[in-house]
Amino acid sequence: MNAPVHIDVIALDRLKVGTRARVVGVDWPALEGGEACRLKHFGFEEGVIVEPLHLGPFGRDPIAIRVGRMTVAIRRRHAGAISVSPLAQ
Amino acid sequence: MNPLPLVAVVGNPNAGKSALFNALTGARQKVGNYPGVTVERKSGRLLLADGRPVEMVDLPGSYSLEPASPDEAVTRDVLLGNQKGERQPDALVIVLDASNLDNHLRFALQLIELGLPTIIALNMVDLAKRDGLELDPTVLQRELGVPVIETVAVRRRGIAELQAAIDDMLSAPVCGVHDRVKSDLIHLQRRAREIATAAVVSETPVRRWTHRLDSVLLHPIFGPLILALIMFVMFQAVFAWSEAPKSWIEAAVAWLSNAVSGALPSGLLRSLIVDGALAGVGAVITFLPQILILFLFILLLEGTGYMVRAAFLMDKLMHGVGLSGRAFIPLLSSFACAVPGIMATRTIDDPKDRLTTILVAPLMTCSARLPVYTLMIAAFIPNTRLAWGVGLQGLVMFGLYVTGIFGALLAALVLRRGVLKGSGAGFMMELPKYQWPPVKDVLIGLLTRAQIFLKRAGTIILGTTIVLWALASIPQAAPGQKQSEVSIAGHIANAIEVVVRPIGFNHDISMALLPAMAAREVAVSSIATVYSIDSPDQPASANKLEDNLKRRWSLATALAFLAWFVFAPQCISTIAVTRRETNGWKWPLFMVTYLFALAYLAAGATYWIAVAAGL
């Protein structure tokens, strides 16, 4: 696995499509119980590699994101609660 | 008598659980609801090699034993033996998606900790291979300590081996069932990753099929266009393909009615069978072709994995009124008929999203409104051409559709701010891999939907039709009296007339409203009957009906009548299916009340504005 070159941390909803990044933190209190639970089930947690794949046609929302071996769709608002550090391409 | 051993099939959503369940049990499945919740219970029977039967139950797909939805709560409660209407399973078959082990193993580890006899079906190994992933099931078996069988459920591969393993499992003695799971999620996830990594023999990175397809189907421009095209074809099919079977069913019912009429002497019994029971059954099964065609499309969209993509494309727009992308297809289906539309809301996970969708679905202009709309427009709206070749009649028809759509969006918005306030899990969905669903699974799905509709909704619809018949036939009119005036229904119509007089409705409409509860288009034949009784020497043809309407109704009344039909829940089938899908009378009653209130207000406003404008 490549070591992160950028140390800058951004919210997942601002990560460009096709850019891989490592999750550095999730703002769990910003999410409701059910939402937080579902994100955990999808495998969003520190250290996991994620990559946005597709954006919704209206307002670029929701976002399809690759997490581990799964592709999941979440709304932009929820992606905003996940901070990531982009990996070198 | 000892109950049959109960084996639960359990796993993550999209692990191919239902396909595996179908492969094990075949077409003879029982589908019902768990008591008190609208979560579907699917069970079936598996015959072991020596003929011993085993009861299999297909538990709702879950990510873990910490539920994030009502479905997942049922799965947890069944597994822990706390679910009403279900005993604790004697053994488990855990279904894992071979290409998604790091996620699915977490739930499997949790389940294994329960201590029930367990087998793992390592499913969809073919898709994993297609994606360049080779796994060693013996490593999994060693690390997990339970038997692991490789399967491809949709191709029926590995099913015989799985059956043999279930047989062995049920013959072995059971030791110690735990009632609580100890390990926390983070620990389980870490362990799941370790095992998943250990089980990988080789991995060749390939550009995945699913990703390539998604680049087109989720494209910001082509995506919505393709969705519109698919919806257009589906819509056409629901209308066009159902036309012929519908007319065959109607012909068959008419033939049967004639046969019965010929065989029985005229009287109350003949009327009960012909006008009550047969008419009722006929009304129910004429919906069947539309339901089957629509569900054929829905099952294909669901089975291939496209349904979730459609929801992805439409989510932002639907979110604007407090619904989720999942509501799009049920609502669109409701343009054909709200009954299959409401049945299709089962794909919406969030209970409040689902309920809102059910409650607004009847506002979509269904095909049963068309006969009413066409008749009224033909009678009252002049066939004048406006600019650019647009006709006034078409414009009014379009306006009625748009009013329905806006009514639904507005109702959704208000409901989500009021009685159904609060957000659920929002829109968070896994985008599964594309695959072609096996024909047999699609057929089983169709059969199940047809059964649900005919049995559950059918009994209520049939019952109500007979009640409506009784109201219209009792007491019997003496010679010289009009049956429609003498009957209980006639008296009810008089009472209705008092209520609807202020919104411009006349006596004819009052007479038609009660029978039109059976189905909206009945309003047309009811009004026709009133006129044919009044002038028995003239046949009640459509032209005559139009002339009669023009002579007797004011334009304001006609417009008010149209506005009424945009909103009024005049359809027993819709009410019955809402009862079935919401598991009680509370929500159907709420739906009927708010829709009638809206209809009354809309018709009243239309009438008074029209009168004030001098129409």
The closest CB to that of B425, out of A34, A57, A61, belongs to: A34
Which of B16, B18, B185 has its CA nearest to residue B113? B185
Q: Which of B226, B323, B429 is the mutation pick for testing A, counting most A CBs within 10 A? A: B429
- Which residue of chain B is at minimal alpha-carbon distance from A71? B431
| pLDDT number for residue B343 | 84
pLDDT of residue B540: 43
Q: How do residues B177-223 score in pLDDT, each as one tens digit?
A: 555 556 677 788 888 888 988 888 888 776 678 888 999 999 999 99
Is residue B2 scored above 80 in pLDDT? Answer: no
- Does the pLDDT value for residue B330 go beyond 70? yes
Select from B69, B189, B427, B434 the residue whose CB has the most chain A CBs within 10 Å, as the one to mutate to test that interface: B427
pLDDT score for B175: 61
Model confidence pLDDT, tens digit, residues B97-110: 998 898 899 999 99
Domain boundaries B6-206, corresponding CATH code: 3.40.50.300
> CA B279 to CA B515: how far, in whole Å?
12
Please give the structure tokens belonging to residue B446: 């169709």
Please report residues of A whose CB lies closer than 8 A to that of B228.
none
pLDDT number for residue B539? 47
ipTM of this complex prediction, to 2 decimal places: 0.91
- Average the pLDDT over each of B362-371, B403-412, B489-498, B522-531 and give the range with the smallest value: B522-531
Q: How confident is the model at residue B508 (pLDDT cuts 50, 70, 90)?
A: confident
Q: Do B221 and A57 touch (CB under 8 A)?
A: yes
Q: Is the pLDDT of residue B142 over 90?
A: yes
Residue of B nearest to A74 (CA): B428
Q: Could you tell me which CATH number the domain at A10-86 has? A: 2.30.30.90
Chain B: closest CA distance from residue A65 (Å): 9
How far is the C-alpha of B122 from the C-alpha of B101, rounded, in Å?
Answer: 9
Whole-number Å distance between alpha carbons of B167 and B275: 54
Residues of B in contact with A43 (CB under 8 A): 102-103, 189
pLDDT at site A79: 94
Higher-confidence position of B15 and B175: B15
Residues of B in contact with A38 (CB under 8 A): 63, 68, 425, 428
B256-300 pLDDT, tens digit each: 888 988 888 877 788 888 877 777 777 667 778 877 888 898 889
Mind telling me how many Å the CA of A83 is from chain B's nearest CA?
18
Residue B5 pLDDT: 92
**A37 and B102: CB-CB below 8 Å?**
no
Other CB atoms within 10 Å distance of the CB of residue B236: 10
Q: Does A25 touch chain B (CB under 8 A)?
A: no
What is the model's pLDDT at position A54?
95
Q: Nearest chain A Cα to B68, which residue?
A: A34
Q: Which residues of chain A make contact with B210, given a CB cutoff of 8 A?
A: 71
* pLDDT digits 0-9 by tens, A41-58: 898 988 899 999 999 999
Q: Output the pLDDT for position B219.
A: 95
Note whether A74 contacts B223, CB cutoff 8 Å.
no
Picking from B97, B124, B315 by the largest number of A CB atoms within 10 A of its own CB, the best residue to mutate is B315
Of B221, B313, B431, the CB nearest to A56: B313
Please give the Cα distance from B105 to B109 (Å, whole number): 6
DSSP B7: E
Say yes or no: A46 contacts chain B, CB-CB below 8 A: no
Q: How far apart are CA B446 and CA B440, in angstroms?
A: 10
Structure tokens at B14: 């999209």
Would you list the domain boundaries of chain A?
10-86
**Nearest Cα to B180, choosing from B90, B89, B115, B118?**
B115
Sheet with strand A10-11: strands edge to edge: A10-11, A82-86, A21-26, A49-55, A63-67, A70-74, B428-430
Task: Residue A71: list chain B partners with CB under 8 A.
Answer: 210, 214, 430-431
Residues in chain A: 89
What span, in angstroms and rounded, lies between the C-alpha atoms of B474 and B36?
38
CB–CB of A64 and B102 under 8 A?
no
- Write down the domain spans for chain B: 6-206
Sign of CA dihedral B566, B571, B575, B577: negative
The answer to whether the beta carbons of residues B349 and B307 sit under 8 Å apart is no
Residues B415-464 pLDDT 10s: 988 888 876 556 888 999 898 888 988 998 888 878 877 776 667 667 77
Q: Are B158 and B168 in contact (CB under 8 A)?
A: no
- 3-state SS assignment for residue B367: coil
Residue A64 confidence (pLDDT):
96
Mutate to test the interface with B, among A54, A60, A65, A78 (most CBs of B within 10 A): A54
The answer on pLDDT for A4 being more than 70 is no
The confidence score (pLDDT) of residue B536 equals 47
Backbone angles phi, psi at B413, to 5 degrees: -60, -45
From B66, B423, B431, residue closest to A64, measured CB to CB? B431
Q: Do A75 and B185 touch (CB under 8 A)?
A: no
Give a three-class secondary structure readout of B276-342. Answer: HHHHHHHHHHCCHHHHHHHHHHHHHHHHHCHHHHHHHHHHHHHHCCCCCHHHHHHHHHCCCCHHHHH
Tell me which residue in A45, A69, A75 faces B426 most closely, judged by beta carbons.
A75
Question: Which structure tokens are listed for B284?
Answer: 């129910």
From A77's Cα to the closest Cα of chain B, the distance in A is: 10
B393-429 confidence digits (pLDDT tens): 888 888 898 899 999 999 999 998 888 887 655 688 8
Whether residues A35 and B426 touch (CB distance < 8 A) is answered with yes
Distances (CA, A) of B535 to B61, B121, B489, B532: 62, 72, 21, 5
Which residues of chain B make contact with A54, given a CB cutoff of 8 A?
214-215, 218, 312
Chain B residue whose CA is closest to A72? B430
For the entire predicted model, the pTM comes to 0.81
Q: What is the pLDDT of residues B64-89, one digit of tens each?
A: 898 887 788 899 999 999 988 889 99
* A76 Cβ under 8 Å from any chain B Cβ: no
B132 min Cα distance to partner chain A (Å): 12
**Do B441 and B25 touch, CB atoms closer than 8 A?**
no
A18 touches chain B (CB under 8 A): no
A10 to chain B, closest Cα gap in Å: 21
* Cβ-defined contact of B428 to A35 (cutoff 8 Å): yes
Q: Residues near B162 by Cβ (< 8 Å), separated by ≥ 6? A: B20, B24, B93, B119, B121, B149, B151
* Nearest-CA distance B203 → chain A (Å): 12
Please choose, from the candidates B546, B586, B591, B585, the residue with its C-alpha nearest in 3D space to the C-alpha of residue B570.
B591
CA distance B192 to B187: 9
